[in-house]
């Protein structure tokens, strides 16, 4: 796969674009937010996306998927990003779904993934215990109990935890917080005894839950990857999820940038269009160059996964380091260039600004990913 879209991918993009424009304009996301709906997204729309085959894009046909790649998934995600659709690709496909796909036994995959692909099952990944992204900083413990385990601890910021049927849970089976070794992943049912899920609203209108585990029992057959070896699976899941998130961000970048550009071309002050001011023209041109850079590194990361390249981790960090910076730049400039109107809740550009901040800080910011990239490069 190259850095540009193939003919088939261009067709998929046009389809996805007309679908989200018709079914999910930005007002829909706003209405969902304002209704304080418990689910946080539309189950009906999610199932429609399932019927179109989009949820199943990265999953094999044997579990009901479409067996396509991150190039295709990225196209759909970018279109969702363009209209700020809050449907649970990140939680259900990229995080939870990937954990089951990359670490689950065949029976477990057959049990869970067909309903994921159809849109009937929502998954989430409960990994975070503090704010700054630190994937191995895990204190939640899983201790052996007969054939199974008992989980104790608390997780923060579990995206779509409020709606999930299964919670893929990262827990420590050995070692100390911060160790890469000694981590294990478990599939926990949302109705398990001892589990409490408290939903919260986020600044971008999406939802995440605080989940506490009070001696929650889980069967030994519901482990993803090996006991103590969960980090292998986790790293691969995060790389793919990061690449997917970056694709969604790209769609939001494009839309926020286009809207800002349009504003520069139409808004008048001092009797002229504000886009005639060089102070704004230069910043717009610089933003454009960053947008092009983001597009290139995201496409490269997608092909790294799809071509089975060995540098997926480097590419994922290269993409997220760039996209996190660009989120700040385009989001910040979008508000600044819109001026006072950009500060109002009524103007949609603020919704993009907030979504971009959320995406920037999700799965590691630019500093995190530059550090990781440096490590992978041997310094």
Partner 1 sequence: MSSASIEEFRQEVRSWIEKTLPPELRVGNRKDLPRDSLRKWLKALAERAWIVPDWPVEYGGAGLDRKHAAIVKAELAAVRAPIVRGFGVSMLGPTLLEFGTDEQKQEFLPPIARNEMSWCQGYSEPGAGSDLASLQTRAVRDGDEYVITGQKIWTTSADTADWIFCLVRTDPDAPKHDGISFILFPMRQPGIEVSPLTLIDGSADFSQVFFDGARAQARHVIGPVNGGWTVAKRLLQHERSTDGGSEGGITGAMKETLVDVVKREVGLENGVLADPAIRQRLAAQELEARALGLTMRRALEEARAGQTARDIGSLGKYRWANMVKGEQDIAMLALGTQGLGWSGPGFEDTQLERTRAWLTTRADSIWGGTNEIQLNVIAKRVLRIPE
Rounded to whole angstroms, the Cα distance separating 299 from 74 reads 9
Provide the angle, in degrees to the nearest 10, between the axes of the packed helices 230-266 and 278-306. 150
Q: 218 or 334, CB closer to partner 1?
A: 334
Binding-site member from 107, 147, 289, 310 for partner 1 (CB under 8 A): 289
- Contact set for partner 1, span 11-70 (CB under 8 A): none
Binding-site member from 87, 248, 300, 306 for partner 1 (CB under 8 A): 300
Identify the residue whose tokens are 């929650």: 216
> How many whole angstroms from its chain centre is CA 55?
13
Q: 4 or 35, CB closer to partner 1?
A: 4
Q: How many residues bind partner 1 (CB under 8 A)?
A: 38
Binding status of residue 269 toward partner 1 by CB under 8 A: no
Binding-site member from 265, 307, 341, 345 for partner 1 (CB under 8 A): 265
Cα dihedral 140/144/145/150 (nearest 10): 10
Q: What token pair was written down for 279?
A: 């102070």
> Of the listed pieces 46-54, 57-65, 83-91, 279-287, which binds partner 1 according to CB under 8 A?
279-287
Binding status of residue 227 toward partner 1 by CB under 8 A: no
Binding status of residue 279 toward partner 1 by CB under 8 A: no
Rounded to whole angstroms, the Cα distance separating 169 from 191 reads 14
> Of the listed pieces 65-73, 143-151, 164-172, 282-290, which binds partner 1 according to CB under 8 A?
282-290
Residue 275 near residue 265, CB atoms below 8 Å: yes
Question: What sign results for the dihedral spanned by CA atoms 162, 166, 167, 168?
Answer: negative
Q: 343 or 374, CB closer to partner 1?
A: 374
The minimum distance between CB 305 and partner 1, in angstroms, equals 15
Binding status of residue 203 toward partner 1 by CB under 8 A: no
Q: What token pair was written down for 69?
A: 């790649």
Residue 76 near residue 16, CB atoms below 8 Å: yes
> Of the listed pieces 46-54, 145-153, 295-303, 337-345, which binds partner 1 according to CB under 8 A?
295-303
Among 63, 81, 366, 19, which Cα is nearest to 251's?
81
> Of the listed pieces 167-175, 196-204, 296-304, 343-351, which binds partner 1 according to CB under 8 A?
296-304
Binding status of residue 339 toward partner 1 by CB under 8 A: no
The minimum distance between CB 271 and partner 1, in angstroms, equals 14
20: three-class secondary structure by DSSP = helix
The CA angle 75-80-86, to the nearest 5 degrees, is 145
- Contact set for partner 1, span 244-263 (CB under 8 A): 261
Binding status of residue 378 toward partner 1 by CB under 8 A: yes
* Torsion-angle region of 218 (φ positive above 0: left; ψ -120 to 50: alpha; else: beta): beta
Residue 217 near residue 200, CB atoms below 8 Å: no
Task: Give φ, ψ of 236 to 5 degrees.
Answer: -65, -40
The minimum distance between CB 68 and partner 1, in angstroms, equals 20
Binding-site member from 206, 222, 322, 354 for partner 1 (CB under 8 A): 322
Residues that bind partner 1 (CB under 8 A): 2-5, 261, 264-265, 273, 275-276, 278, 281-282, 284-286, 288-289, 292-297, 299-300, 318, 321-322, 367, 370-371, 373-375, 377-379
């Amino acid at each position: 796969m190259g850095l540009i879209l193939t003919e088939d991918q261009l067709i998929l993009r046009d389809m996805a674009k007309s679908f989200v424009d018709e079914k999910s304009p930005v007002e829909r996301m706003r209405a969902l937010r304002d209704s304080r709906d418990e689910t946080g997204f539309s189950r009906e729309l999610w199932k429609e996306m399932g019927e179109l085959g989009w949820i199943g894009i990265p999953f094999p046909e044997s579990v009901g998927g479409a067996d396509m790649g991150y190039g295709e998934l990225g196209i759909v995600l970018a279109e969702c990003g363009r209209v700020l659709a809050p449907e649970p690709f990140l939680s259900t496909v990229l995080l939870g779904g990937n954990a089951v796909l990359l670490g689950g036994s065949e029976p477990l995959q057959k049990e869970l993934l067909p309903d994921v692909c159809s849109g009937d099952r929502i998954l989430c990944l409960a990994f975070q215990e503090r704010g700054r992204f630190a994937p191995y900083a895990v204190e939640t413990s899983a201790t052996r109990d007969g054939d199974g385990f008992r989980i104790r601890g608390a997780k923060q910021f579990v995206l779509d935890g409020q709606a999930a049927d299964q919670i893929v849970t990262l827990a420590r089976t050995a070692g100390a917080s911060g160790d890469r070794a000694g981590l294990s992943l478990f599939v926990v049912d949302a109705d398990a005894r001892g589990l409490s899920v408290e939903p919260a609203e986020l600044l971008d209108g999406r939802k995440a839950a605080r989940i506490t585990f009070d001696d929650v029992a889980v069967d030994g057959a519901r482990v993803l990857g090996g006991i103590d070896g969960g980090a292998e699976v986790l790293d691969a899941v995060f790389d793919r999820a990061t690449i997917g998130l970056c694709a969604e961000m790209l769609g939001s970048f494009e839309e926020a940038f286009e809207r800002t550009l349009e504003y520069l071309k139409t808004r008048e002050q001092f009797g002229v269009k504000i886009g005639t001011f060089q102070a704004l023209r230069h910043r717009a041109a610089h933003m454009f160059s960053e947008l092009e850079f983001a597009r290139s590194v995201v496409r490269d990361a997608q092909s790294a996964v799809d071509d089975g390249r060995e540098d997926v981790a480097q590419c994922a960090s290269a993409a997220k380091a760039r996209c996190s910076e660009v989120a700040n730049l385009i989001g910040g400039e979008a508000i600044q260039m819109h001026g006072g109107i950009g500060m109002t809740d009524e103007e949609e550009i603020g919704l993009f600004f907030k979504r971009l901040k959320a995406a920037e800080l999700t799965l590691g910011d630019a500093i995190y990913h530059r550090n990781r990239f440096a490590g992978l490069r041997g310094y």
